[in-house]
Amino acid sequence: MTMNNQDQSTFTGNKALQIEEALSFEIGGFDRTGVDFPPAEDRPNRLGGLGRDSEIGLPGLSEPETMRHFVRLSQKNYAIDMGPFPLGSCTMKHNPRLNEKIARLPGFADLHPLAPQACAQGALELIDTLAHWLQELTGMPAVAMSPKAGAHGELCGMMAIKAAIVARGEGDKRTRVLAPESAHGTNPATAVQCGFTVEEIPGDATGRVDLAALKEKLGEDVAAIMVTNPNTCGLFERDIRAIADAVHDAGGYFYCDGANFNAIAGKVKPGDLGVDAMHINLHKTFSTPHGGGGPGAGPTVLAAALADFAPVPYVVHRDGEYHLIETESANSFGRLTAFHGQMGMFTRALAYMMSHGKDGVAQAAEDAVLNANYVLARLKAEITPAFDGYCMHEALFDDRFLKDTGVETIDFAKAMIDEGYHPMTMYFPLVVHGAMLIEPTESESKRELDLFCDALLSLAKRAKAGEAETFKAAPVYAPRRRLDETAAARKPVLRWTPAANAAR
Ligand SMILES: *Cc1c(COP(=O)(O)O)cnc(C)c1O
What DSSP string runs through 129-180? HHHHHHHHHHT-SEEE----SHHHHHHHHHHHHHHHHHHTT-TTT--EEEEE
Q: Which whole number is the average pLDDT over 479-503?
A: 83
Please give the pLDDT value at position 365: 98
Give, in words, the CATH class of 98-354: alpha beta
**Mean pLDDT computed over every residue of the chain:** 93
Which residue has its alpha carbon closest to ligand 1 atom 15?
A: 89
User: How many angstroms is it from 87 CA to the middle of ligand 1?
Assistant: 12
Confidence of residue 500 (pLDDT cuts 50, 70, 90): low
Could you tell me which residues are beta bridge partners of residue 395? 438
Cα–ligand 1 centroid distance for 186 (angstroms) = 7
Residue pLDDT, tens place only, 86-104: 999 999 999 999 999 999 9
pLDDT in the model for residue 370: 98
Mean pLDDT along residues 304-327: 95
Q: What is the model's pTM?
A: 0.92
* For the CA of 149, the nearest atom of ligand 1: 7
Residues written for the chain:
504
Distance 483 CA to ligand 1 centre (A): 25
Mean pLDDT, range 324-353, rounded to an integer: 93
According to CATH, the topology of domain 359-490 is: Aspartate Aminotransferase, domain 1 (3.90.1150)
Q: Give yes or no for residue 16 having a pLDDT over 90.
A: no
Q: For atom 6 of ligand 1, which residue has the closest CA?
A: 150
| Atom of ligand 1 lying closest to residue 228 CA | 13
Largest CA distance in the chain: 83
DSSP letters spanning 209-224:
B-HHHHHHH--TTEEE
The tally of CA atoms less than 13 A away on the side-chain side of residue 126 is 25
Q: Whose CA is nearest to atom 3 of ligand 1?
A: 150
Q: Measuring from atom 7 of ligand 1, which residue has the nearest CA? A: 150
Task: Render pLDDT for 174-189 as a digit per residue (tens, 0 to 9).
Answer: 999 999 999 999 999 9
Neighbouring C-beta atoms of residue 289, cutoff 10 Å:
19
Over the range 269-283, which residues count as b (16 or more CB within 10 Å of their CB) and which as e? Answer: bbbebbbbbbbbbbb
* Cα–Cα distance measured from residue 410 to residue 415, given in angstroms and rounded to the nearest whole number: 9
What does the DSSP 8-state code read for residue 414? H
Residue 232 CA, closest ligand 1 atom number: 13
Task: Band the pLDDT of 18: cuts 50, 70, 90.
Answer: confident
Q: Hey, what's the torsion of the CAs at 483, 487, 493, 497, to 10 degrees? A: -80
| Confidence label for 67 from pLDDT (cuts 50, 70 and 90) | very high
Strand partners, 29: 60
DSSP 175-201: -EEEEETT--THHHHHHHHTT-EEEEE
> pLDDT grade, residue 333 (50/70/90)?
very high
Residue 22, pLDDT > 50, answer: yes
Residue 154 CA to ligand 1 center (angstroms) comes to 9
Pairing of strands 300-302, 277-279: antiparallel
Stated as kind and residue range, the H or E segment containing 395 is strand 395-397
Question: Residue 293 — very low, low, confident or very high, per pLDDT cuts 50/70/90?
Answer: low
Measured in angstroms, how far is the CA atom of residue 298 from the centroid of ligand 1?
9
pLDDT(452) > 60: yes
Distance CA 133, CA 61 (A): 48
Q: Specify the pLDDT at position 284.
A: 96
Residue pair 388/395 in contact by the 8 Å Cβ criterion: no
Q: 8 C-alpha vs ligand 1 centroid, how far in Å?
A: 41
- 425 in Cβ contact with 389 (< 8 Å): no
Q: What is the pLDDT of residue 462?
A: 98
Distance 294 CA to ligand 1 centre (A): 12
Ligand 1: residue of 89, 90, 281, 438 to mutate (most ligand atoms within 8 A of CB) is 281
Kindly give the distance from the C-alpha atom of residue 198 to the centroid of ligand 1, in angstroms, as a whole number.
Answer: 18
How many whole angstroms from 185 Cα to the centroid of ligand 1? 9
Of the chain, the percentage scoring pLDDT greater than 90 comes to: 82
pLDDT of residue 503: 46
Give, using CA atoms, the residue closest to atom 14 of ligand 1. Answer: 259
Q: How many whole angstroms separate alpha carbon 76 and alpha carbon 68?
A: 12
Nearest-atom index, ligand 1, CA of 298: 7
257, 278, 337: residue to mutate for ligand 1 pocket, most atoms within 8 A of CB: 257
Residue 347 pairs with which residues in a beta bridge? Answer: none
- The pLDDT, as a whole number, for residue 343 is 94
Confidence check: pLDDT of 346 > 70: yes
For residues 223 and 252, the answer to whether their CB atoms sit within 8 Å is yes
Nearest atom within ligand 1 for CA of residue 296: 7
Nearest CA to ligand 1 atom 8: 150
pLDDT at 206: 95
Give, in order, the Cα–Cα distances in Å from 395 to each of 18, 369, 425, 441: 33, 9, 11, 11
- pLDDT of amino acid 502: 53
Higher pLDDT, 462 or 57: 462
Render pLDDT for 206-260 as a digit per residue (tens, 0 to 9). Answer: 999 999 999 999 999 999 999 999 999 999 999 999 999 999 999 999 999 999 9
φ/ψ (deg, to 5) at 335: -125, 140
> Which atom of ligand 1 is closest in space to residue 257's alpha carbon?
11
Q: What is the reported pLDDT for 40?
A: 82
User: For residue 84, what is the DSSP state?
Assistant: -
Per-residue confidence (pLDDT) for residue 1, from 0 to 100: 39
| DSSP letter for each residue of 447-500 | HHHHHHHHHHHHHHHHHHTT-HHHHHH--SSSSS----HHHHHHS------HHH
> What is the CA(292)–ligand 1 centre distance, in A?
14
- pLDDT for the residue 5: 45
CB of 101 closer than 8 Å to CB of 109: no
- Rounded to a whole number of angstroms, the distance between the first and last alpha carbons of the chain is 10
In the three-class reduction of DSSP (H, G, I as helix; E, B as strand; rest coil), residue 256 is classed as strand
Ligand 1, pocket residues at CB < 6 Å: 89, 149-151, 184, 186, 228, 232, 257, 259, 281, 296, 298
Binned at pLDDT 50, 70 and 90, residue 164 comes out as very high
For the chain, domain boundaries: 98-354, 359-490
Q: Give tens-digit pLDDT for 352-408.
A: 999 999 999 999 999 999 999 999 999 999 999 999 999 999 999 999 999 999 999
pLDDT top residue among 170 and 75: 170
91 CA distance to ligand 1 middle (Å): 10
CA of 259 to the centre of ligand 1 (A): 6
Closest by Cα among 361, 366, 446, 389 to 134: 361
Given a cut of 60, whether residue 504 has pLDDT beyond it is: no
Phi, psi of 360 (to 5 degrees): -70, -35
